Amino acid sequence: MISLKQLHYALAVKETLHFKQAAERCFVSQSTLSSAISELENQLGVQLFERDNKKVLVTNFGEQILTRAQEVMTQVQDIEHFAKSNSEPLSQPMSLGVIPTIGPYLLPKVLPPLRNQYPNFELSMVEEQSAVLVRKVRQGLLDTAIIALPYDLEGLLAFEFWQEDFYAVSHQDTPLAKFDKINHLQLHDTSLLLLKEGHCLTDHALSVCQLPRPKEDMGLAGTSLFTLIQMVAGKMGTTLIPEMALSSVLNANPELKAMHLEEPGPHRRIAFICRPNFAGVANIEVMMELFKQGLSDAS
């Protein structure tokens, strides 16, 4: 089997028409180069070069073979360049899942710097609850997902990149709004509005506040944070929101008051998840750094 090294040596001789100069160009000894070319000619069964002590000539057969050899070497170089270009950060398309209590508040902060630094990065996104995203990542239907921890991730890797606390949000006219900080005991006497079953934000909030899960027939569950905020604005009760949602919620609803939940934190941790053998872990690490910077700048 002829080798790329043999072709490389032969093309150097064709270009220089001098074995010593070709050897120097290839950083090998003249004897090594001569032996490789002799072996190549034996393998092909044709003579590539006429050589004596004064000159080197390319034979007619040699000209045709080395023209094809140059095409092969060019294709090899193209493969190397292709592999190198696609090993650059975020040079390959990626599918990303994100939960509803993170996506609307995280993405506006982090996508602009991501697009500025990597304008050709192809990112597709879906928004689903944690259980759906974890399943899709496991099945290979998504490359990675951003969810809130703690969550059961058996068999998957988690790369944590952010931590945050919860804030209680009430209408300014309610008694609770006179406080800047509250604890879980003060929430016991309020109508606490929560997301419906399946949203991990509810699980995390109830765990932090040491509260039992409300009964389904209480009618105080929303399908989104936006819905809960509108209920709070209507003086129907109090809700808990993550810190990353704080600025957008208060800017859009100036009649509301936010109070830090004074319970041991962080109240939730944000992480990328992926399969253990996922080939794009390096890309996740790049995105993590950009996301951390975007969140820090927005804080």
Question: How does pLDDT run across 195-237, given as a tens digit for each residue?
Answer: 876 677 877 877 777 766 655 544 456 778 888 899 999 998 8
Domains defined for the chain, CATH in brackets:
4-86 (1.10.10.10), 94-163+268-298 (3.40.190.10), 166-261 (3.40.190.10)
**DSSP per-residue codes, 35-104:** HHHHHHHHHHTS--EEE-SS-EEE-HHHHHHHHHHHHHHHHHHHHHHHHHHHTSTT-S-EEEEE-TTTHH
Question: How does pLDDT run across 123-154, given as a tens digit for each residue?
Answer: 999 999 999 999 999 999 999 999 999 899 98
Whole-angstrom distance, CA of residue 159 vs CA of residue 18:
57
Q: Which residues pair with 171 in a beta bridge?
A: 256
Q: What is the DSSP letter of 211?
A: -
Q: Which amino acid is at 67?
A: T
* Mean pLDDT score, 59-78: 90
